[in-house]
Chains A and B, each alone.
Chain A
Amino acid sequence: DADVTQTPRNRITKTGKRIMLECSQTKGHDRMYWYRQDPGLGLRLIYYSFDVKDINKGEISDGYSVSRQAQAKFSLSLESAIPNQTALYFCATSAGQGAPYTFGSGTRLTVV
């Protein structure tokens, strides 16, 4: 099994729909992250969590929300999807400050 599992791998949804992207990790790490990847823009941070009770906004949190259900689970929600949220979304986890990140395989989301 992968260290970081993201579901679904691909999703097409309609404008205005609510959608949840799920992430779970088996590394036992406290820190989890959601990034968005767009061509030419690299990875941009949406939200991050340093432990179960900690949630922090990243640089592009508008239109997104997150839930840290347990140490191993960190979900990203789009309350009302819009086409410019079409992107590749990555979840990652790390052990602490300065530790490398372990990434999931990504969720490709298309909003039509």
Chain B
Amino acid sequence: AQSVTQPDIHITVSEGASLELRCNYSYGATPYLFWYVQSPGQGLQLLLKYFSGDTLVQGIKGFEAEFKRSQSSFNLRKPSVHWSDAAEYFCAVGPYGGNTPLVFGKGTRLSVIA
């Protein structure tokens, strides 16, 4: 069965600093990979997704993620964080050839300080 690990429960960064949120997955075949963001009091919004092809994926709000098959990772990055990026971020994995729902990580909460 697939699984997702987000090693960092909570990260604090300064506004304007770079950001990297880690995601490791366990799955025997090629996965679909997603990053979602949940702002306080809101539902989850899709940031970006990876299916195949270019391993560097661009998303909304200036985010990008890189798929590294050898490391089973799909880390989310942003070069310069804004205060409005404070939220909870979830990585999710689904089977490329299967027919089962997405499995979500436990999330990483991002705090942004001035």
Contacts and interface: CB of A to CB of B under 8 A. Distances in A.
Contacts of A74: none
B100 to A, nearest CB: 8
The 3 nearest A-B residue pairs measured at CB? A42-B106, A103-B43, A43-B104
A3 to B, nearest CB: 10
A58 interface: yes
Interface of A is mostly: strand
Interface of B: 6, 9, 32, 34, 36, 42-46, 49, 51, 90, 94-96, 98-99, 101-107
A76 B92 CA distance: 23
Most A Cβ at <10 Å: residue of B42, B101, B104, B106: B101
Interface stretch (A14-22, A64-72, A93-101): A93-101
A50 B107 CA distance: 26
Contact of A42 (B51, B94, B98, B105): B105
Interface string A6-41: 000000000000000000000000000101000011
Contacts of B105: 42
